[in-house]
Amino acid sequence: MYKIRIRGGLRLKGEIPISGAKNAALPLMVASLLTDAPLTLTNVPNLADVAFMADLLRHFGVGVEWTPGHAGDGGRFRLCARDLTGTTADYDIVRKMRASFFALGPLLARAGTAKVSLPGGCAIGARPVDLHLKALQALGATVDLVEGYVVASAPEGLKGAEVAFPSVSVGATENALMAATLAEGRTILLNAAREPEIDDLGRCLIAMGAEITGLGSSKITVDGVKSLHAAEHAVLPDRIETGTYAIAAAIAGGEVELTGTRGELIGALTGLLEIAGAEVRETERGMCVARNGARPISVSADTAPYPGFPTDLQAQFMALMATSDGTSRIRETIFENRFMHVPELLRMGADIKIEGDTAIVTGVAGLKGAPVMATDLRASSSLVLAGLAAEGETIVNRVYHLDRGFERMEEKLRRVGAEIERLPS
């Protein structure tokens, strides 16, 4: 167990390399189940969740070769599901990482059967999986719930169909998209999620021989093929990591270039940062965020599916607003319980009130360092950001949450001048 110690108040200057996206890498790894040929993924971040996913794939009989990256390069996976030796994902695996549930569609499409534990709730909300199941049922699967497991089968194979999602779900879109690649005939996904990670998954599936059109829109059409083949694909840059370090520059002040990423991935955030008084510009290698002088200006935001303001940046943005001049309203519309960072920010002197799905944040002139507790991945990063701006020392406990989704965070922040270190707790 580790904790992170931050001594706040230092301006940041320099560059931070952005890693491959966790939330793209996880479904991409699962896509290897769709073919007996190898799938090679590059620019893969070295994260606890990626290691969990590799374990899950080994459990299904997938050959996993991992070459870690070095000096800012991402790692490389060669995944080969030549023979599937299992189609069951146990509770112990799925409860540790919800993304394990993405295996349901590909297993069903390839093997005609799958048994995957229901994930249950998590720190940010109930997070049901009904949309995943309805989509697979629409493709002809029978689905039973047996002792906490989803038992799905399609012995004759999946059949293309129209799947209209009643609300936008990233994971259900990904599950259905993967399953539809091997279904017989045409599948049309309506009200599909438009997150860049779905586009990335779709591009990889196309490289594997899938026939997909409409990526990036809310109507995706898939014409099923008999089999997929070997491919190589580079994971797209992590937009949530990009946004988190963009906010780091804005909260601490200074100037930071984020390399290996693209500003357009976080358009909704950069609009807010500019209103708040930060300067954001594209560079040849990525983007640059700077803030000098005055306190950030308050600006309100509602989370929304892409291209809206991402829920995965809500906690980090709230840390910035906690230091702003004025009052902002931050509304969480995606998850019902994603304000777990608020009591911790209050411990650092923030002034935040929660009214239903909205946090009313009145900025304070200075946060104060304090011991705080991380509750989930993005909440943890918001506490680190608050620590960068706070006077004195902040200790963030339960750092394992951070390690699930941020590659070498303290090292990346140290290289731009932050005083931050990892200690045993």
Among 127, 186, 262, 422, binds ligand EPZ (CB under 6 A): 127
Instruction: State residue 161 phi and psi, 5-degree precision.
Output: -160, 170
- Nearer to ligand EPZ by C-beta: 119 or 254? 119
- Measured from the CB atom, the residue of 200 and 312 that comes closer to ligand EPZ is 312
Structure tokens at 124: 């940010």
Tell me which long-range contacts 264-272 makes (C-beta under 8 A, separation of at least 24). 265/196, 265/236, 265/237, 265/239, 266/239, 266/242, 266/310, 266/313, 267/307, 268/304, 268/307, 268/308, 268/309, 268/310, 269/243, 269/309, 269/310, 269/313, 269/317, 270/246, 272/299, 272/301, 272/309, 272/317
B/e letters for 3-34, b = 16+ CB within 10 Å, e = fewer, are bbbbbbbbbbeebbbbbbbbbbbbbbbbbbbb
Is 405 one of the binding residues for ligand EPZ (CB under 6 A)? yes
What is the C-alpha separation between 83 and 160, in angstroms, rounded? 25
- In the three-class reduction of DSSP (H, G, I as helix; E, B as strand; rest coil), residue 315 is classed as helix
Q: Is 169 in the site for ligand EPZ (CB under 6 A)?
A: yes
Residue number with CB closer to ligand EPZ (167 or 227): 167
The minimum distance between CB 174 and ligand EPZ, in angstroms, equals 7
Interaction between residue 104 and ligand EPZ (CB under 6 A): no
> What is the footprint of ligand EPZ within residues 249-278 (CB under 6 A)?
none
CB of 308 to ligand EPZ, least distance (A): 10
By C-beta, is 192 or 420 nearer to ligand EPZ? Answer: 192
In three-state form (DSSP H/G/I as H, E/B as E, the rest C), the secondary structure along 251-287 is: HHCEEEEEECCCHHHHHHHHHHHHHCCCEEEEECCEE
Q: Does 109 bind ligand EPZ (CB under 6 A)?
A: no
Query: Quick check: 130 binds ligand EPZ (CB under 6 A)?
Result: yes
User: Rounded to an integer, what distance in angstroms lies between the CA atom of residue 414 and that of residue 179?
Assistant: 43
Contact call for residue 171 and ligand EPZ (CB under 6 A): yes
For ligand EPZ, the binding residues in 26-85 under the rule CB under 6 A are 26
Residue 94 binds ligand EPZ (CB under 6 A): no
Q: Catalytic: 122?
A: yes
Q: What CA–CA distance (Å, rounded) separates 257 from 327?
A: 29
Instruction: Candidates 162-170, 183-191, 229-237, 271-279: pick the segment binding ligand EPZ (CB under 6 A).
Output: 162-170
Q: Enumerate residues 318-357 that contact ligand EPZ by CB under 6 A.
A: 334-335
172 binds ligand EPZ (CB under 6 A): yes
Whole-angstrom distance, CA of residue 258 vs CA of residue 246: 8
Task: Pick out residues in 215-254 that bind ligand EPZ (CB under 6 A).
Answer: none
Residue from 30, 107, 131, 372 binding ligand EPZ (CB under 6 A):
131
Per CB under 6 A, which region of 7-15, 72-80, 141-149, 163-171 contacts ligand EPZ? Answer: 163-171
Considering the complex, what minimum distance in angstroms separates the CB of residue 50 from ligand EPZ?
Answer: 11
Q: Which is nearer to ligand EPZ, 303 or 328 (CB)?
A: 303
- DSSP helix/strand/coil, 28: helix
Q: How far is the CB of 32 from ligand EPZ (least distance, A)?
A: 16
The single residue listed with the structure tokens 């500019």 is: 274
Nearest Cα neighbor of 196 from 312, 316, 73 is 312
When the beta carbons of 85 and 167 are compared against ligand EPZ, the nearer one is: 167
Distance, CA of 416 to CA of 421 (rounded, Å): 13
Q: Known catalytic residues?
A: 122
Residues that bind ligand EPZ (CB under 6 A): 23, 26, 98-99, 125, 127-132, 167, 169-172, 311-312, 334-335, 377-378, 405
